[in-house]
Amino acid sequence: MNPGNAERVPHEQPVFSAELTPHRSLGLRGIRIFLLIAALLTLVHGVFFWIIGAWPVMVFFGLDFGLLFGAFWLNDRAARAREEVSVSRLDVSVRKFTPAGRMTEHRFNPFWTRFHVARHAEIGIVSMSLSDRRRATDIGSFLNRDDRESFAKAFTGALATVKRR
């Protein structure tokens, strides 16, 4: 047997796979429409104040619109963050993507992996994390309450299924 041609274990099919993304109530089209309306209102009010001689007010209207645009731009950028979580018999994989597109990957042995869920009596799940003997990572910190609950339930079931086999 040639060591260069050693047989590899075939890629294990995941028992569980999820892509976690932050929830945004307004899509890109909605943001564009909102900013267009805000720009038109800013322009109309700015022209009105220019006509009555209070032209310095236009500067503040422009500054307000610039801040509004910046806030929506930052919100849209933050919405690009995501996490891919998969569980197979061989490993638990968490791939985290930043808004800039950089990826970090955390791999755990499923038999040593512990899923920690911190709950608050009134709020529900406040944080989730995975750990083994050497390292830990948080999961789904940007999810809303309902999404955290459903993910925790599904992930716990998948991890238990893999450990039973």
Indicate whether 32 and 62 sit together in one domain.
yes
Mean pLDDT of 149-160: 93
In a domain, 2, yes or no: no
Sign of CA dihedral 57, 58, 59, 62: positive
Could you tell me the residue range of the domain that residue 154 belongs to? Answer: 15-21+81-164
**3 state SS of 80:** coil
Residue 10 scores a pLDDT above 70: no
In a domain, 1, yes or no: no
19-68 tens-digit pLDDT: 999 888 888 899 999 999 999 999 999 899 999 999 888 889 999 999 99
* 8 A C-beta contact, residue 95 and residue 137: no
The enclosing domain of 101 has a CATH number of 2.30.29
Residue 118 scores a pLDDT above 90: yes
**3 state SS of 147:** helix
Indicate whether 89 and 160 sit together in one domain.
yes
Indicate whether 85 and 128 sit together in one domain.
yes
Nearest alpha-carbon partner for 83 in 109, 68, 102, 60: 102
Nearest alpha-carbon partner for 105 in 84, 133, 88, 128: 84
State the pTM of this model. 0.73
